[in-house]
A and B are shown apart, each in its own frame.
Chain A
Amino acid sequence: MKIVNWLLLISFGALLIYASLGLPNRGDGDAVMHREKSPAGSWGASSYYIRNAYRDAETLNMVTVILADYRGYDTLGEETVILTAGLICYLVLRKRRTNRDDKKPLKAGADAQT
């Protein structure tokens, strides 16, 4: 069984390395994802951001403009996720305050009453 695990691991790693050989070079201008127009011939959203980010928001950092202005809903959702994680940690990990005496045997359904 261990041999099967190792064989699966090695073959999957080899598959990933083989797939990574087909990636375009970093900063290659002719790669499809770096072109200004999509293969269908339309202007992508990224070229709009690069052209108009400073004109729209007077902010030099293009990433900040995209994160907080063009994609504001997304960042609002991310922040809500963080708040939800904190609230759930508070609910799960806090010390439970009960006035119940611990020496009494627990009845079934005693939690439903408190």
Chain B
Amino acid sequence: MRKHKYNPIILMVSRVVSPFIMIFGLYVIFHGHYSPGGGFQGGTLLAAALLLIRLAAGFDIAQIQFKRILGTPLGSIGVLIYFGTGFLAMISGGEFLNYGFLPFAGFTEAGLRALGILMVEIGVGLAVMAILVAIYDDLLEGYPHD
């Protein structure tokens, strides 16, 4: 395989563009209550920001930003956030995934449902971001990367 040399122009542009993509991904996740968007789309944008650095700077330098070993555990944590939200509603009296029974004081039932939807979307975004980066890293496994 050809030895990879990073291009300073591409690296500079990626370093400038990547945080904006990341901010937009967070916006898509947290603004999903009011506009099109949500966990899946926002997680994909976050993964795109991370993968841009991985493509431009090379695998080894990008480890400073997001370690390879973090991929699968963070995906599991995302699924556990979703499951835990539903389970928290279940152990506090309601059905599984019935967010109206979440044990937080000071909310109406509709407000609790909005909060539950937000927690669920954060879990989905975390899982999608981590799993997409992890699949990229697994595909790169075994090749000599710079």
Question: What is the bound-complex CA distance between A68 and B50, given in angstroms?
Answer: 26
Q: Is A93 a contact partner of B34 (Cβ separation < 8 A)? A: no
Of A17-25, A82-90, A104-112, the one touching chain B: A82-90
Chain A 60-89 interface 0/1 with B at a Cβ cutoff of 8 Å (1 = within) = 110111011100110110111011011101
Q: What residues of A have a CB within 8 angstroms of the CB of B110 in the complex? A: 55-58
> Which of A63, A68, A82, A95 counts the most chain B CB atoms within 10 A?
A68
Q: Is A64 a contact partner of B117 (Cβ separation < 8 A)? A: yes
Question: What is the bound-complex CA distance between A84 and B58, given in angstroms?
Answer: 27
Q: What residues of B have a CB within 8 angstroms of the CB of A60 in the complex? A: 33-34
Chain A nearest CB, measured from B99 CB (Å): 7
B139 touches which of A69, A89, A95 (Cβ 8 Å): A89
Q: Is B38 a contact partner of A86 (Cβ separation < 8 A)? A: no
Q: Is B97 a contact partner of A83 (Cβ separation < 8 A)? A: no
Question: What is the bound-complex CA distance between A62 and B58, given in angstroms?
Answer: 41
Chain A nearest CB, measured from B79 CB (Å): 5
- With contacts A59-B114, A82-B127, A83-B131 known, is A90 near B86, CB below 8 A? no
**Contact-residue size bin, chain A (C-beta under 8 Å from the other chain):** 20 to 34
Q: Is A86 a contact partner of B82 (Cβ separation < 8 A)? A: no
Q: Is B138 a contact partner of A83 (Cβ separation < 8 A)? A: no
Question: Does A94 lie at the interface of the complex (its beta carbon under 8 Å from any beta carbon of B)?
Answer: yes
A64 touches which of B38, B134, B142 (Cβ 8 Å): B38
Question: Does B103 lie at the interface of the complex (its beta carbon under 8 Å from any beta carbon of A)?
Answer: no
Q: What residues of A have a CB within 8 angstroms of the CB of B32 in the complex? A: 61, 64
B33 touches which of A59, A72, A93 (Cβ 8 Å): A59
Chain A residues packing against B (C-beta within 8 Å)? 55-61, 63-65, 67-69, 72-73, 75-76, 78-80, 82-83, 85-87, 89-90, 92-95
